[in-house]
Amino acid sequence: MSSLKKLTTPSGIISALAIDQRGALRRMLGEDASQESLENFKSLVSENLTAHASSILLDPEFGLPAAAKRDENCGLLMAYEKTGYDSTVAGRLPNLIANQSVKRLKEAGADAVKLLIYVDVDEDKAINDCKQAFVERVGSECVAEDLPFFLEIITYDAAISDKREYAKIKPHKVIEAMKLYADPRYHVSVLKVEVPVDMNFVEGFGDDYVYTKEEAAAFYKEQAKISNLPFVFLSAGVSAQMFHDTLNFAKASGSTFNGVLCGRATWAGAAKAYKEAGSDKAAEWLQTIGKSNIIELAKLVEELATPIK
């Protein structure tokens, strides 16, 4: 398998910027946002922030112009999945971008490929079997093209929508999903995962909690022992401060996470500026607040994360 060095800092930590959002970004910029607007916004983020990131995660649908504007020392991850899922069909089944393949993403300059799947380990076996075969196929493609395979896992429960109720079972969902897809048959190079608890429901982080700090810390330790695969945390749309607090808590709890793939916590304010005042204001936000966000995060991650050997 190809090396991860193009995607890490010199010390071996992944400090990556994620802006492969498509549907979510269109909602942030306005439902009537054009393809040109999405491409322009991604380019602004890439141009202004990638000097401070080890790599950037983009999509081939709106992100190719942004890929061309990234810093010369910044590696490139490319998303392979279609955005979202068909809510009329059970299982949140994954699908791939119709006109893409790992070979084509490599030809477009990708140093690694990322696939997102939604996982409920307790859902119907037939549904999970489909997802497992799907990941196997993508893993085999990545092996054939000698590209690292990043698997992003977003967990859920098919029967629970209440956030507090889900928080009670989230550690089980996250940890068991990681355990499943760490199996060598999937050829995953790096797991991109949620933290094992909803920090809004941890003692001291929210008004209403379902875990004490000690209980939450134990889940971070358990997650870190699941496999020998490198794993990075996604920011899940939380604020920059909450993400920083979460990473500090993770480290103090004994987590050996290998970095982050952080999106909206870094650049969300620029999307608001772009929608309300245009690209110049968005660029101004990125050059000030956005730059500060990513520099602070990169410094923190360098201090807290475990280098990939």
Bridge partners, residue 299, by sequence: none
**Residue 309 domain-assigned?**
no
pLDDT at 1 over 60: no
**Residue 142 domain-assigned?**
yes
Average pLDDT, the chain: 96
Q: What is the pLDDT of residue 260?
A: 98
Domain that holds residue 295: 5-304
**Residue 149 domain-assigned?**
yes
Our count of domains for the chain comes to 1
**Residue 290 domain-assigned?**
yes
Bridge partners, residue 76, by sequence: 56
Please name the amino acid found at residue 278.
G
Give the Cβ contact number of residue 69 at 10 Å: 15
pLDDT at 127 over 80: yes
**Residue 230 domain-assigned?**
yes
Cβ atoms of 250 and 301 closer than 8 Å: no
Q: What is the pLDDT of residues 201-215, one digit of tens each?
A: 999 998 899 999 999
**Residue 79 domain-assigned?**
yes
Please name the amino acid found at residue 247.
L
For residue 13, give Cα distances in angstroms to 123, 259, 305. 34, 6, 7
247: left (phi over 0), alpha (psi -120 to 50) or beta: alpha
**Cα-to-chain-centroid distance, residue 127:** 23
Please name the amino acid found at residue 115.
L
Beta-strand pair 190-193/14-18? unpaired
Section 178-198 average pLDDT: 98
pTM equals: 0.97
* CATH number, domain containing residue 265: 3.20.20.70
Give the Cβ contact number of residue 67 at 10 Å: 22
Cβ atoms of 217 and 254 closer than 8 Å: yes
Q: What is the pLDDT of residues 225-240, one digit of tens each?
A: 999 999 999 998 888 8
As to burial, measured by CB atoms within 10 angstroms (0-12 exposed, 13-18 middle, 19+ buried), residue 35 is exposed
Q: What is the pLDDT of residues 156-171, one digit of tens each?
A: 999 999 999 999 999 9
**Cα-to-chain-centroid distance, residue 277:** 28
**Residue 289 domain-assigned?**
yes
DSSP codes joined into one string, 179-209? HHHTSGGG--SEEEE--SS-GGGBBTTBSS-
Q: What is the pLDDT of residues 104-120, one digit of tens each?
A: 999 999 999 999 999 99
Q: What is the pLDDT of residue 12?
A: 97
- Could you identify the residue written with the tokens 């098919």? 158
**Residue 116 domain-assigned?**
yes
